[in-house]
Structure 1
Amino acid sequence: RIGSATSLSSAVINSRLQELVRLFKERTEKVKEKLIDSDVTSDDESPVASPAAAPVPAPGGEVERDKPSGDDHYCEMLCCTFKYRPWLDRLKSYQFPSSIDPLTNLMYVLWLFFVVMAWNWNCWLIPVRWAFPYQTPANMHYWLLVDYLCDLIYLLDILIFQTRLQFVQGGDIITDKKAMKENYLRSQRFKMDVLCLLPLDFFYFKVGVNPLLRLPRCLKYMAFFEFNIRLEAILTKAYIYRVIRTTAYLLYSLHVNSCLYYWASAYEGLGSTTWVYDGEGNSYIRCYYWAVKTLITIGGLPDPKTLFEIVFQLLNYFTGVFAFSVMIGQMRDVVGAATAGQTYYRSCMDSTIKYMNFYKIPRTVQNRVKTWYEYTWHSQGMLDESELLVQLPDKMRLDIAIDVNYNIVSRVPLFQGCDRQMIFDMLKRLRSVVYLPNDYVCKKGEIGREMYIIQAGQVQVLGGPDSKSVLVTLKAGSVFGEISLLAAGGGNRRTANVVAHGFANLFILEKKDLNEILVHYPESQKLLRKKAKKMLKSNNKPEDEKGGPGDPLILAPKADTPKLFKAALAATGRTGGKGPLGRLRWRLKELKAMQE
């Protein structure tokens, strides 16, 4: 009985020790994966929330009820349901920034819009009020109200915004209030801003309300050009705004010329000759029509009679030729810049077609090449994405690659748990390729040197006796060919045909690129090889698809234990596991556990 009790306790202790060894091994593997990839989530259970304390009875003996949901409850945390603060309270609590980044701050772009609107008011309406009889004593207060509102916008721009603009000095971004203010006071823009606000309005008391006294307000042209630069930087189709701006230049030149023509007509006397404006109809529309005919030099105008009219007409003709040549040149540049990509695409296609015709390429191949050009251009807006990013610094290229490709690559089971920096290095090596319908991505028996990630479209895996049966259809986000990247001996052979089902955009990672990256990440290399081995085992390929004797394997298969040796070990196990065979059996168990 004592021996049986001892053997029973030994068995319990032995099983407990084996359980502890197993737990320690699992814990070691988890810690190892955590060290390799810090983003691996822990398997520890989350702490259980403590039960809520019971509500304390009120002095009257009743339990205090929850407050109705309609009560005002402003909470900045996400732990409870809360009502948004009224916009007026949020406006009161808003703090104006101490420094403004002029390159990225959209609020500053919006403010520049209001400044430019005030500038346009002065540029367009000062000539009209000076030449045409639209400013009268009856509506004088309306004109002055808008004038001084524009002056207020100018003043706020000087005092609040321009003195808070960040600037770069010696490679550093300066955000100090005093330094930003001194930088603005030393700039050329400050001098122009002061000139445009010269208080010439005091002369109204002596000469009357003359709009020409507000002509210095047009000197705030720097805000207009800065607004153009900032707006074009945030627009997706900036060329549309450039066309509108060039058209506005043309309309403004015609606007000024129409004002000058009415002034010349008034100077000569309305209707005094056949050349001047006769005073009938809408004065601005009639004078604008005359300005258009003069600047475009289309003819059909009455001949000038006096010397003043002749000189004025000659100046108009010369100005029209110069102005329209400049406008046409600007419009050509704008349209050329907008269609530069399309022009490059057409030139590439024309050169390719010329090459194929010279070598008498079959018509079917030519049609497929043309289709590839058309789809590639319309799907991604360029023929080669690398040409767009080649001028960017390496860090910016990495940031763009992370935003575009990281979500796809991070879902690949083979790369989960690897070093994050290794994934970032790999993203920069991905190459985008477009496949046409029924194009072979890879064929059975080929040496695999690439991994494919489906960005858009579908591919079909073909198999069967005739290699035409659809085994599976892979959609966007799927990965295939990843084990080929880790096989030793030059790559393993493809086991099936993969064909594009429709148009397919794929990311390709070549084996040589991955090998260059893994040199710097030995731990990730070990993890990848281990995962590749498990994936090969889980695939459970048939014998005829495992490849010939020359096919490379990640790890050579181990020979099975002889059956007679297994029977001897089993016999020793039934006798209590004592003796040399029993110890050998225990040693084999330990080796097997370590390999798993």
Structure 2
Amino acid sequence: AAQGTCLPWEPKSWGGSAPPCGAGFCLPSGQKLLCQLSQQSRWELQQMSLFLSSLLVMLLSHASLPMRTGSATSLSSAIVNQRLQELVKLFRERTDKVKEKLTDPDITSDDESPATSPAPAPVPPPGGEPEGDKSAGDEHYCEMLCCKFKCRPWLYHLKNYQFPSSIDPFTNLMYVLWLFFVVMAWNWNCWLIPVRWAFPYQTPSNIHCWLFMDYLCDLIYLLDILVFQTRLQFVRGGDIITDKKAMKEHYLQSERFKMDVVCLLPLDFLYFKVGVNPLLRFPRCLKYLAFFEFNNRLEAILSKAYIYRVIRTTAYLLYCLHVNSCLYYWASDYEGLGSTTWVYDGEGNSYIRCYYWAVKTLITIGGLPDPKTLFEIVFQLLNYFTGVFAFSVMIGQMRDVVGAATAGQTYYRSCMDSTIKYMNFYRIPKPVQNRVKMWYEYTWHSQGMLDELELLVQLPDKMRLDIAIDVNYNIVSKVALFQGCDRQMIFDMLKRLRSVVYLPSDYVCKKGEIGREMYIIQAGQVQVLGGPDGKTVLVTLKAGSVFGEISLLAAGGGNRRTANVVAHGFANLFILDKKDLNEILVHYPESQKLLRKKARKMLNTNNKPRDEKAPGDPLIIRPKVDTPKLFQAALAASGRMGHKGPLAQLRWRLKEMQAAQVRWKVMLASSIHRPINICKAFMARLGQSPSAADTDITLAFLS
């Protein structure tokens, strides 16, 4: 107690009952051994120690007495001395074992890193009311005029929202959402300005609706310039700049700022002189940089970006047709509606009919009436040239998009065709070929790739480590063999894991083979087989289980597989090679010592016989063996012959030894039963049932 530290009392250690004083435990050498007791309990403990000490001294003194040869007493004393010495030795061994259990209850607790102390409880808020109850009962109300109403949670958070001082354009989803609104405003201008200019859809009766949408788009442009673009972070010399003044200066000096200013030229004031002409809003279409930025940010977020690329390429084609239809209506109106067979005749829906004409012209379908005037001929020639060029560009871009989307599938088919050609060349049996094809199909459909290392090798080590930690650290950290090891060593080990797919009924490892790998089940199940026929399922391991870890560090024949492990279905496993682990442990000598020590313990535990009795305290004083009947008959015959002969003398000496044993039993009983009774009373005071095992452990510890 003088060498230790006093810690709070733990009721679990004594069956849930508190000690009389309730003070705490004393921890010599960092372990919980004794507790502070009341004065009466300490006196009982001292009395019990005194009795055991006196008994031990008496036994040792008796064991050291010289034997007197040539008499029955000396013979009995020699036998008793030998037995007492054996008992003292056995009691000492048992005492050492019990002390080791008390000081080291967990077999690996001395090897693992000490657990971190729990964080202190948060200080309760002033006023005595718990914080959780306060937040649960807190209601948000808003006052408007003379009314008071309850706010919705999202309205309350929106009210207290603070706009960020700087925005990361690559990872901030709010900025991507804002770019979506800017692109919608840009599309409004790009699609409807040509329609309002060419077709008679803008009239004095609906001019206010058009102007409202125009100025709403201008407001979005203005907010983008004043609020968002001046808060975008940028990189200068490898550093991310988040200073407000620096971000504003960077935007004002960029080309994008000049384009944004041109977009918002106030040409609308010319409406008062020339009228509401949609062509005066054509500079609003120059904000195309926001459109391309939105495409890049959205493709980085989407998991299947090729779908958006196909939609965007189709929109390009539709927009070209849209502009061509507007130009055709303008040319028809310039020549006069219905003046020739080439121009629009003014019947039906003007936009649909002009759009149909634009489709036939740009895609060069043919079947159109021939132009009559010089203007119509020049217009038609320009239309054909533009159509051929635009259509070929669209087809080429669509091919690239589809090719990029199916690049992985093409690579998979190429690898599979090469493998099939190889197997046919060497005449591999059909069952083996079918299993190879099955492996290709399952690996591709489950992972989307044949070898994930080809993808990860392109990334830097830091990113590969981050991915490996997110995928495998929770599983590897739970392996008993690696608990308490250096954290960085585990990180290095995660980068060496490789993924392998096993088909149904594939042998992961076989009994008797040399173990050079450790397996971590990522998905699927494996079965451990044993029994006389080797087909009995001993246990089924599921996702997250680990096996074969002892083979990584076992030596001297201990790395042999002890059972067959078969994949129950399709199983995805991570494998760590012994060679890779040894290369890692060179840089972590302390972890290497710890791993080898744990491996020896686990190997010794696994090598124990199955029929061995459960670990417990062995009997020190075993029951006496009965005297053989033949020997008893010989002693009886010698008694009838008198006190002559060696058997008669042996019988007389045995009687003396039995009398000596009776005297020793009386003495031992008087010396042992009293401290045992004190021990039982002491443990009953602590609230425990005074079982024989508890009493024996207490006596051994006190001795």
Aligned with 1:417 (options 468, 484, 500): 484
- 1:406 and 1:88 map into 2 onto residues whose CA distance is 40
- How far apart are 1:490 and its partner, in Å? 7.6
- 2:539 and 2:457 map into 1 onto residues whose CA distance is 37
SS in 1 for 2:568: strand
- How far apart are 1:119 and its partner, in Å? 0.3
Aligned with 1:459 (options 516, 526, 532): 526
SS in 1 for 2:525: strand
- 2:174 and 2:262 map into 1 onto residues whose CA distance is 26
- 1:119 and 1:69 map into 2 onto residues whose CA distance is 45
- 1:481 and 1:23 map into 2 onto residues whose CA distance is 29
User: Match of 2:275?
Assistant: 208
Any conservation in 2 of the 1:37–1:419 contact (CA below 8 Å)?
no
User: Match of 2:470?
Assistant: 403
Q: For the structure 1 residues 312 and 85, does the alpha-carbon distance in structure 2 shift closer, same or farther, using more than 3 Å as the test?
A: closer
User: Match of 1:8?
Assistant: 51
- 2:49 and 2:402 map into 1 onto residues whose CA distance is 96
- 2:191 and 2:55 map into 1 onto residues whose CA distance is 98
- How far apart are 1:478 and its partner, in Å? 1.3
Aligned with 1:343 (options 410, 414, 417): 410
Aligned with 1:426 (options 470, 493, 515): 493
User: Match of 1:260?
Assistant: 327
Q: For the structure 1 residues 47 and 374, does the alpha-carbon distance in structure 2 shift closer, same or farther, using more than 3 Å as the test?
A: closer
Residue type at the aligned position of 2:489 = M
Whether 1:182 and 2:249 are equivalent positions in the alignment is yes
Q: For the structure 1 residues 49 and 26, does the alpha-carbon distance in structure 2 shift closer, same or farther, using more than 3 Å as the test?
A: farther
User: Which structure has the higher relative contact order (CA within 8 Å, separation 6+)?
Assistant: 2
Any conservation in 2 of the 1:246–1:327 contact (CA below 8 Å)?
yes
- How far apart are 1:121 and its partner, in Å? 0.3
- How far apart are 1:26 and its partner, in Å? 4.0
SS in 1 for 2:435: helix
Residue type at the aligned position of 1:72 = D
Q: For the structure 1 residues 174 and 323, does the alpha-carbon distance in structure 2 shift closer, same or farther, using more than 3 Å as the test?
A: same
Instruction: Give per-residue Cα distances to partners, 1:520-562, cap 9 Å, x unaligned.
Output: 2222222222222222233245599xxxxxxxxxxxxxxxxxx
Q: For the structure 1 residues 148 and 73, does the alpha-carbon distance in structure 2 shift closer, same or farther, using more than 3 Å as the test?
A: closer
- 2:106 and 2:475 map into 1 onto residues whose CA distance is 30
SS in 1 for 2:247: helix
Residue type at the aligned position of 1:166 = Q
TM-score normalized by the length of structure 1: 0.81
User: Match of 1:225?
Assistant: 292
Whether 1:352 and 2:419 are equivalent positions in the alignment is yes
SS in 1 for 2:570: strand
Whether 1:449 and 2:503 are equivalent positions in the alignment is no
Residue type at the aligned position of 2:425 = F
Whether 1:121 and 2:222 are equivalent positions in the alignment is no
- 1:533 and 1:224 map into 2 onto residues whose CA distance is 64
Residue type at the aligned position of 1:326 = V
- How far apart are 1:229 and its partner, in Å? 0.3
Aligned with 1:330 (options 393, 397, 403): 397
Instruction: Give per-residue Cα distances to partners, 1:323-374, cap 9 Å, x unaligned.
Output: 0100001000000111111111111001111111111111111111111000
User: Match of 2:174?
Assistant: 107
Any conservation in 2 of the 1:448–1:491 contact (CA below 8 Å)?
no
User: Match of 2:214?
Assistant: 147
SS in 1 for 2:524: strand
Whether 1:234 and 2:301 are equivalent positions in the alignment is yes
SS in 2 for 1:95: coil
Instruction: Give per-residue Cα distances to partners, 1:165-188, cap 9 Å, x unaligned.
Output: 000000000000010001001111
Whether 1:173 and 2:248 are equivalent positions in the alignment is no
User: Match of 1:376?
Assistant: 443
TM-score normalized by the length of structure 2: 0.69
- 2:358 and 2:437 map into 1 onto residues whose CA distance is 50
- 2:222 and 2:309 map into 1 onto residues whose CA distance is 29
Whether 1:91 and 2:134 are equivalent positions in the alignment is no
- 2:210 and 2:161 map into 1 onto residues whose CA distance is 34
Q: For the structure 1 residues 430 and 70, does the alpha-carbon distance in structure 2 shift closer, same or farther, using more than 3 Å as the test?
A: closer
Q: For the structure 1 residues 6 and 205, does the alpha-carbon distance in structure 2 shift closer, same or farther, using more than 3 Å as the test?
A: closer
- 1:382 and 1:507 map into 2 onto residues whose CA distance is 16
Any conservation in 2 of the 1:401–1:427 contact (CA below 8 Å)?
yes
User: Match of 2:567?
Assistant: 500
- 1:12 and 1:256 map into 2 onto residues whose CA distance is 112
- 2:97 and 2:370 map into 1 onto residues whose CA distance is 112
Whether 1:131 and 2:203 are equivalent positions in the alignment is no
Any conservation in 1 of the 2:558–2:603 contact (CA below 8 Å)?
no
Whether 1:72 and 2:138 are equivalent positions in the alignment is yes
User: Match of 1:283?
Assistant: 350
- 2:283 and 2:376 map into 1 onto residues whose CA distance is 29
- 1:270 and 1:6 map into 2 onto residues whose CA distance is 122
- How far apart are 1:21 and its partner, in Å? 7.3
Any conservation in 2 of the 1:37–1:420 contact (CA below 8 Å)?
no
Residue type at the aligned position of 1:417 = G
- How far apart are 1:13 and its partner, in Å? 12
> Which sits farther off after the overlay, 132-141 or 4-13?
4-13
User: Match of 1:296?
Assistant: 363
Any conservation in 1 of the 2:523–2:571 contact (CA below 8 Å)?
yes
Any conservation in 2 of the 1:345–1:377 contact (CA below 8 Å)?
yes
User: Match of 1:550?
Assistant: none
Any conservation in 1 of the 2:517–2:548 contact (CA below 8 Å)?
yes
Q: Which 4+ stretches in 1 moved above 6 angstroms? A: 11-15, 17-21, 27-31, 46-50, 67-70
Q: For the structure 1 residues 132 and 224, does the alpha-carbon distance in structure 2 shift closer, same or farther, using more than 3 Å as the test?
A: same
Any conservation in 1 of the 2:104–2:110 contact (CA below 8 Å)?
no
Mapping of 1:492-531 within 5 angstroms? 492-531=559-598
Provide the aligned C-alpha RMSD in A: 3.4
- 1:142 and 1:295 map into 2 onto residues whose CA distance is 33
Any conservation in 1 of the 2:108–2:598 contact (CA below 8 Å)?
no
Q: For the structure 1 residues 69 and 437, does the alpha-carbon distance in structure 2 shift closer, same or farther, using more than 3 Å as the test?
A: closer
> Which sits farther off after the overlay, 404-413 or 231-240?
404-413
- 2:349 and 2:384 map into 1 onto residues whose CA distance is 24
SS in 2 for 1:470: strand
Aligned with 1:485 (options 526, 549, 552): 552
- How far apart are 1:49 and its partner, in Å? 12
Residue type at the aligned position of 2:453 = S
- 1:180 and 1:485 map into 2 onto residues whose CA distance is 55
Q: For the structure 1 residues 134 and 5, does the alpha-carbon distance in structure 2 shift closer, same or farther, using more than 3 Å as the test?
A: closer
- How far apart are 1:417 and its partner, in Å? 1.9
Any conservation in 2 of the 1:130–1:212 contact (CA below 8 Å)?
yes
- 1:367 and 1:27 map into 2 onto residues whose CA distance is 54
Any conservation in 1 of the 2:554–2:600 contact (CA below 8 Å)?
no
- 1:119 and 1:444 map into 2 onto residues whose CA distance is 70
Aligned with 2:458 (options 381, 391, 402): 391
Q: Gaps spanning 5+ residues in structure 1: where?
A: 57-66, 75-82, 545-573, 577-592
SS in 2 for 1:502: coil
Q: Gaps spanning 5+ residues in structure 2: where?
A: 1-46, 58-91, 141-149, 612-664, 669-699
Any conservation in 1 of the 2:518–2:575 contact (CA below 8 Å)?
yes
Q: For the structure 1 residues 128 and 370, does the alpha-carbon distance in structure 2 shift closer, same or farther, using more than 3 Å as the test?
A: same
Whether 1:366 and 2:409 are equivalent positions in the alignment is no
- 2:208 and 2:303 map into 1 onto residues whose CA distance is 42
Instruction: Give per-residue Cα distances to partners, 1:145-194, cap 9 Å, x unaligned.
Output: 00000000000000000000000000000000010001001111000000
SS in 1 for 2:599: helix
Any conservation in 1 of the 2:517–2:551 contact (CA below 8 Å)?
yes
Q: For the structure 1 residues 346 and 541, does the alpha-carbon distance in structure 2 shift closer, same or farther, using more than 3 Å as the test?
A: farther
SS in 2 for 1:133: coil
